[in-house]
Structure formats: structure tokens, C-alpha cells
Structure 1
Amino acid sequence: MVALRSVVVGCGSALPARVVTNDDLAQRVDTSDEWIVQRTGIRQRHLADESETTSVLGVRAAQAALGEAGLGPEDIDLVICATSTPDHTFPSTATQIQAGLGIHQGAAFDLQAVCAGFVYGVATADKFLTTGAARRALVVGAETFSRILDWEDRTTCVLFGDGAGAIVLEAREGAGTKSDRGVLTASLRSDGRHRSKLYVDGGPGSTGTTGFLRMEGRDVFRFAVGSVTDVIEDAFRASGTTAEELNWFVPHQANRRIIEASADKLGIAREKVVLTVDRHGNTSAASIPLALDAARKDGRIREGDLVMIEAIGGGFTWGAAVIRW
């Protein structure tokens, strides 16, 4: 049976030039390198300067992805940007990335699912491509979370960083089996009852302010490890794959302890887990594509590898997708 698949043909990333270590933060808030590393695995993060907006980082990552794919702006007819830190209330950051790349056709829009945004973006692009509504899609995860942090709150300001990652997906025919290259399946969930666990305390429709990120860390940890395995198990079941068949598990890079506990619970060997949280911190929707690009550049992820991406974000939103690279 012939089936259209959304095949990854390019991957790219962009990080701000400024690197901030845990020791740097210890000069600003009451914390230490030992405290941060022990609880999160984070050693440093990149923070954007005034000129490095979310769209600027997104354009840089997208250009790298297009370059790897050997494609130009005329080849893209869909741009999706997953972000919680848009340049403006409107227009969408995706349209600014579209303009920055010189793309003048097709559609562009933002998608807001916080840290799960990139998984949601991949799932959404896959629907466009496999139904014939688009030929090639650019999926970008881009964030400047440093803009919404309370730098007096040591429990949150040490966790996050800025950056962007992008992939190019192209509709190609496959045999309709799990051996096909491309997105094999995606499973998405959300439950708005958990808003108070992880949220920003502002917005144009409520306070008229940007607000700051607020988090109940222990509750988020428990939910992330205990309650999000449903989408991963759904994705394995729908794609006919297993944890043993995975070559790489590329989860949202929030906290090393969460990542390792989740992998252990699912029976995914730790040597198959891609970790970049030590270098990047939590970059929300950008964390998965940043990790994908890192693993591509160092030769770990290769064509034909079976890759799972997975994330949980505020709301809560969560999701997983299985991709044959």
C-alpha cells in the first residue's frame, strides 16, 4: 500500500552567542553550580541579547535546515513556528520567519503548546503533507525564555535558556510500513486542569503585561514521570514499534532526572537517550530540534534510524512522535 510520509530532509539550529554558566548565575541569585547540576543536570545555557529575538533565532535555524536540505525559499509552502515567546502579540513569529527567509507563498502560523510545541508542530505539519495540502514544511521551535523569567526567583531562572531549532519535512511516497522513512505516527494530549502547575502570570487578555514564568517544580516532575507515558505507549502501538527497536530517544530537555526516570520507566536504554540539557538548559519548544541537530552533527542520528521525540509542556500539554530518519 502506497502512503505519503513526511520525511525529514534537513535539520538546523541556532544559539545566542552569550553563554551563562551556573557560576555566573551564582553571582546573581542565591544558588551554586553543585545545587543546579545535582537537581537538573544543567551546567550552562545561552541567553539572547537585545538583537536576538525569537524570529531572528528562528530564521538562523531555518536557514541551516534549508541548507542541509539543499532547498531554497521557493521550495517551502508551509512554515510552523512553535513558540511561547513570540516577537509580537501579532503578527505571528512564523510570518516573520517566513519573510526573513524570503518565502512569499504558502501559509505560516504559530503554534502554542509550550515545551510540547515542537511535537505538536511536527504532528500538524504531517497532516498537511500526508493529505496533499502542502509539499514541504518548515517546522521551527524558537524561544527567548529569558524574556519571561523572574530573575529574583532562583527556582526557575536557573532552568531556562534561549535558542531555536528547525527541520524541513517533505512529502514522499512510502510503502505504508514501519520501515518507511518519515513520521510514522504522533500522539498528542492536553489537560487544562493543571494550569497552576506551570504558567506565566500575565498576558494581553488578562493583565495587559507579559508576566513571568511560575512553576510548582515537584508537581511538574511527578506528572512528567508518572502520567505522560500514555502518548509514548500510543505511539509505539500505532507505529508497530517497540522501545527495543528505537535507535534514539530525543525527549524535551527539561531536567536530566526527569529524562532518565522516564526512559527507565519505559524500558529505553540510557545509551539511546540524547541529552543536551547540560549545555542548553530548558529551551522549551526549541529543545527537541536543538537536540536533534546536535545528534545529527555528531553522527549519532543517521538515515534509517528510528527516533522518538517526546515532550510535556505547561497546561499541561504533552505528546510523542515516532520518526524513521
Structure 2
Amino acid sequence: MRWNDLYVSGLGAHLPEREQTAEQAVAAGLYDAGRAEANGIRAVRVAGPDEPGPVMAAAAGRQAVARSRLDHDLFDLVLHGSMGHQGQDFWTPAHYVQGETVGGHGLAAEVRQGANSGLAAVELAASHLGSRPGATAALVTTGDAFALPYVDRWASDDQTVYGDGAGAMVLSSRPGFARVRSTASLSEPSLEPAYRGTRWTASPCESGGPADLSGRKQAWFTRHEGAYQEALELIGRRFGQVLERALDDAGTKLSRTQWFVHANVSEQIAEWGFYRPLGLDRARTTYDWGLDFGHMGGGDHIIGLNHLFESGRPRPGDLVVTVGVGPGFLWTAMVLEVLRAPAW
């Protein structure tokens, strides 16, 4: 979808102070040394007991709203994206975030699309603002804190290390520091079983141990000879399609863009999923920075964008591309045009 009057007015992030390095995790017997070398993640942030995902998301949201300089009563929508446990069962974290940031009585809802939660929420927020003439601003937040017994950040997924953190973005119909040129989303539900596993459960942690995401994926990807290669080809095809759609709607090509933000994934996934097939210059991404934070659930892309703009590197006229994917499978791509360097 091409957008003409949709802008990014604010970005924010909250990263816990406590750091745990991969070296420390290996020494403590929490992380396999071979996986540590192959994955390349150097460290993660670890949330404290008073920092569940929604609390961190609210902190990031307040920062983004303050940077936007938009009045609270202009916010018509709050969407909160996440991947893991949100600090309480039978609860609606989006309304907590709303109350702790902009307040009001607008629509507040939760988006659960795994690692693509943040960008999927941005796509929905863009559609909301674009279809309602009276709607001025929307706040999108993400927040995830991974902890036992629900998730083992070092071992639940052999190619992923989970770090804690939160991000926020303010979208507005009023001019901001960047214009959203386009967004696009595409699903492939035939791949959904890869993360489901082979049996249903009655409650979280029913087995008494953390989620075994590696085991679920291995069982499905090896269900017959050639299944893994078939899945990789389909994933690559859908990724290429959603990226091409967003670039076409933005009226540009990847070679004409200056920045690319993707999830904080392992070295092998980054190399074979992004850099080699797309010919990306790693220096034009946030990847090396992300190696010190790991995969922050649904927030990698928004937190990465926040870091990119805080670094002061994007210049007016630059184009920024970000693409996410989450279990389901759902891909979302966005193209931003930098209008000015934000004061912050």
C-alpha cells in the first residue's frame, strides 16, 4: 500500500540496564559454546522483576510520544505487540500501555505475531489512520521479557538468543521527521505447523519446562525428505514478494535505498537470508549493534529504527527499508523516506 500523508513523528526504546554476555552464559552452562560461536550474538539485556514487557513498552511509548510533540488527545489508537508472556494471565496489556502513555478512550488492542508483532501493528495502524479522516495519531509499542520457566533465552531455539527490551513508534497524519512511503504484508499459513508442535497443551509450561521451539521446528522440517528445502524456498519466495511489493508501491528499488533494518538473528540467518541474496552492505544495517541485544521478540525492527535515528546517520532524502517475519508465517515490509534529522 502506498501512503501519501502518513508520517513517523516519534520513536522510543527501553532497554534494561542488566547485561548478560554470551561468554558468561557459556561459562555458567546456560549456552552451548558451539552455538555461541555459530550464532554470533554477543550479549542480551535482562529485565528485572519490575520490568515485564508492558512496563518497558510504556516507558518506550512515553519517550516516543514526548518526541512526537503531539497532544495526548490526538491519539486515536494504541496497538501493543509482543511475543512472550506479558507479566500476567487473563489481562489486556494494551490498555495498561494506553493508560500509562496517552490515556483517552481510543481503540487499544494487542497484536501477537511473534517477531513480526511490531511491524504488523504498524501496518494495521497505518490502515486505521488512512481510513479515518478524523484520526490524527497512533501509538505502536512492543515489549518482551523472556524468563524461565516459560522461555530459556539461551536454549529454547538453537538459532535464536532472546533479549529483553521494548520499542515504540508514533504514526501521524501530521508531518513528522520521516514519511511512510509504503507498507506491505503477506501470509503463508501452510508454514504455520512449524511452530505449533505435534500436540495441543492445556496451559503454558504444561510440561514443566521451557518452550522447545527448536524441537518443534525440527520435527516439522524433517517430516519427509526435502521438506526443509521446500520450506526454505517458500520462505525466500514470500520474503522476496513482500519486499518487492513495498518497494514498488514506494516507487523505488532496493539499490536506491540507503538503510535496511532486519531482526537481530544469528549470523547464518543474516548472511543467507539477507546479505547474500539481497547484496546488502552490512554497514548500512543495524545488525552489528543488534549483536549486543539479541532477538527482542516483537520489537527488533522498531528498536533498530530508534537506534538508527539516534545515531544521526540517516540524512534527508534517504530511504529506509525494514522487513519482518513471524511464525504464522506473516511478513511485513515498510519503506520510510527521511525528511529531516529529528532533534533528539
Query: Fold-level match, TM-score > 0.5?
Result: yes
TM-score scaled to structure 2, two decimals?
0.81
Alpha-carbon spacing, 1:169–1:201, altered in 2? closer, same or farther (3 Å)? farther
Q: Does 1:191 align with 2:188?
A: yes
After alignment, is 230-239 or 50-59 more displaced? 230-239
- Counterpart in 2 of 1:21? 21
- For 1:98 and 1:168, the matched residues in 2 are separated by 13
Instruction: Judge conservation of contact 1:65–1:167 (CA < 8 Å) in 2.
Output: yes
Preserved contact between residue 202 and residue 208 of structure 1 (Cα < 8 Å): no
Q: Is the 8 A contact 2:31 2:154 kept in 1?
A: no
Q: What is the deviation of 1:259? A: 2.5
Name the Cα RMSD after superposition. 2.9
Asked if 2 retains the 8 angstrom alpha-carbon contact of 1:114 and 1:284, the reply is yes
Q: Counterparts of 1:52-67 in structure 2 under 5 Å?
A: 52-67=51-66
Alignment partner, residue 177 of structure 1: none
Higher strand share: 1
Deviation of residue 241 (structure 1)? 0.8
AA aligned to 1:266 is L
Cα shift at 1:172: 3.5
Q: What SS is found at the alignment partner of 1:51?
A: coil
* Change over 3 Å in CA distance of 1:242–1:30 after alignment to 2: closer
Runs in 1 of length 4+ with deviation above 6 angstroms?
Answer: 200-203
How many angstroms apart in 2 are the aligned matches of 1:258 and 1:302?
29
Distance 1:303 1:169 in 2: 18
Identity of aligned residues (%): 23
**CA 81–68 in structure 1, closer or farther in 2 if over 3 Å, else same:** same
Q: Is the 8 A contact 1:255 1:277 kept in 2?
A: no
Distance 1:173 1:52, change over 3 A: closer
Separation in 1 of the partners of 2:42 and 2:52?
23
**What SS is found at the alignment partner of 2:333?**
strand
**Residue 164 of structure 1: aligned partner:** 166
Gaps of 5+ in 1: 175-179
Q: How many residues align?
A: 314
Aligned to 2:242: 231
Checking the alignment, whether the CA contact within 8 Å between 1:243 and 1:268 is kept in structure 2 is no
Distance 1:113 1:151 in 2: 19
1:179-212 Cα shifts (integer Å, max 9, x gaps) = x952222221222332343358998xx4222562
1:208 aligns with 203
* Other structure's SS at 1:95 match: helix
Supply the distance in 2 between the matched residues of 1:23 and 1:109 (Cα, whole angstroms).
39
Paired residue type of 1:99 = G
Counterparts of 1:124 and 1:97 in 2: how far apart (Å)? 17
Q: How does 1:86-125 map to 2 (within 5 A)?
A: 86-125=86-125
- The structural deviation recorded for 1:49 is 1.8
1:300 aligns to what?
313
Q: Answer yes or no: is the 8 Å Cα contact 1:202–1:209 preserved in 2.
A: no
Q: Which runs of 5+ in 2 are unaligned?
A: 222-227, 339-344
